Every structure is written in C-alpha cells, then in structure tokens.
C-alpha cells in the first residue's frame, strides 16, 4: 500500500457513498486508476465491508439493540496464547466487535442484544463460563454521543442539568 491507497481509504472511511467520479476528482487521478486501486484493496482483504452508521436515537423504532462493552480477563493458552480463545468468543452472533487490549483487562468485547437480561445471560452463561476467562466487567451503553468521528444529532444541544455532588 502506498500513499494513494491510504488517501483513498481515508476518503472512503469518511463517506463510502461517494462515487468513483467524485473520489477521483478529489484525489486528482483517473477514474479507472481509482477503480483498480479499490478493487485491489477489496480482493486483498484491506477493504472488508461497506456499512452505514445509524443514529438509533432519532428512529421511531424502539426495538433497537442494546449494546454493552464487556471487559474480559483471560488466562492465555500455552501454545496459542490469546488467539484460540478469541476465536471461541467472536463466533457468537451477539459479539459485534472483539479486541485484544492493553490495560487492566485483556479483551474488550462489544455485545448486542434485545434486552439487558439477554446480554447479562450471554455474559454469565457463555463468556464467563469459558475455561480461560478469569473475570468480566460489563458496561451498558446508555447514549451515543460520537462514533466513528460522527457527533450524533442532539448531543451538542443536550439541555439536561448536570447533577453536582
């Protein structure tokens, strides 16, 4: 990957709905050059998926998933370290993202479910019972203010009064 590939990726991450003509103009390159670069990054696995960032807070549908951030302490396996345990965890459909992290916990797992109880049962029945899991800490997401660089509508205009101790 070179500088042009990085610039293409940056623009696609900002807005993947830009068409190739618009992207080529922004990058001052030919459309066919851009198309070949994108195709190459897709076929090599650099670009895995195009997705939409959704603001559930302005949707009328109240059945939006509940999200939790689950921190896990792990006892790594002798020969495979963290990877074999990770593959057991990210196979679950409820797991939307899974990261090996530094700090007090080893993994950060983002889990979605339809109720708080569903997520709690998933953590207690599936994650906490894995042989190598030595501890969990769960945080339910109450409100999104910013995700992937996008500030959600209403976040800057929140008029709630701060509670002071």
Claim to verify: residue 26 and residue 85 sit in the same structural domain? no
Claim to verify: residue 39 and residue 63 sit in the same structural domain? no
Tell me, yes or no, whether 48 lies in a domain: no
At residue 71 the predicted structure's pLDDT band, cuts being 50, 70 and 90, is very high
Claim to verify: residue 74 and residue 118 sit in the same structural domain? yes
Question: What range does the domain containing 74 cover?
Answer: 59-143
Mean pLDDT, the chain, integer: 90
At residue 162 the predicted structure's pLDDT band, cuts being 50, 70 and 90, is low
Tell me, yes or no, whether 164 lies in a domain: no
Claim to verify: residue 66 and residue 127 sit in the same structural domain? yes
Domain containing residue 133: CATH number: 3.30.70.920
Counting the structural domains of the chain, the total is: 2
pLDDT score at 77: 87
Tell me, yes or no, whether 153 lies in a domain: no
Task: Give the span between the Cα atoms of 8 and 57, in whole angstroms.
Answer: 31
Claim to verify: residue 37 and residue 80 sit in the same structural domain? no
Closest Cα partner for 69 from 50, 92, 96, 31?
96
Number of Cβ within 10 Å of residue 122's Cβ equals: 22
Claim to verify: residue 63 and residue 133 sit in the same structural domain? yes
Claim to verify: residue 69 and residue 135 sit in the same structural domain? yes
Per residue in 118-157, pLDDT (tens digit) is 999 999 999 999 999 999 999 999 988 898 888 887 645 5
Domain containing residue 37: CATH number: 1.10.10.10
CB contact at 8 A, 5 and 47: no
Claim to verify: residue 64 and residue 108 sit in the same structural domain? yes
At residue 9 the predicted structure's pLDDT band, cuts being 50, 70 and 90, is very high
Claim to verify: residue 30 and residue 97 sit in the same structural domain? no
Per residue in 93-109, pLDDT (tens digit) is 999 999 999 999 999 99
């Amino acid at each position: 990957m070179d500088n042009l590939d990085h610039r293409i990726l940056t623009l696609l991450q900002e807005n993947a709905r830009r068409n190739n003509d618009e992207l080529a103009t922004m990058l001052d390159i030919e459309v066919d050059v851009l198309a070949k670069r994108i195709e190459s990054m897709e076929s090599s696995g650099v670009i895995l998926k195009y997705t939409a960032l959704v603001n559930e807070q302005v949707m009328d549908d109240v059945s939006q998933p509940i999200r939790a951030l689950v921190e896990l302490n792990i006892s790594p396996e002798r020969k495979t370290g963290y990877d074999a345990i990770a593959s057991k965890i990210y196979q679950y459909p409820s797991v939307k993202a899974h990261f090996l992290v530094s700090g007090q916990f080893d993994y950060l797992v983002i889990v979605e479910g339809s109720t708080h109880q569903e997520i709690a049962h998933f953590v207690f029945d599936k994650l906490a019972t894995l042989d190598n899991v030595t501890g969990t800490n769960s945080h339910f997401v109450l409100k999104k203010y910013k995700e992937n660089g996008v500030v959600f509508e209403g976040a800057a205009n929140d008029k709630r009064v701060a509670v002071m101790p």
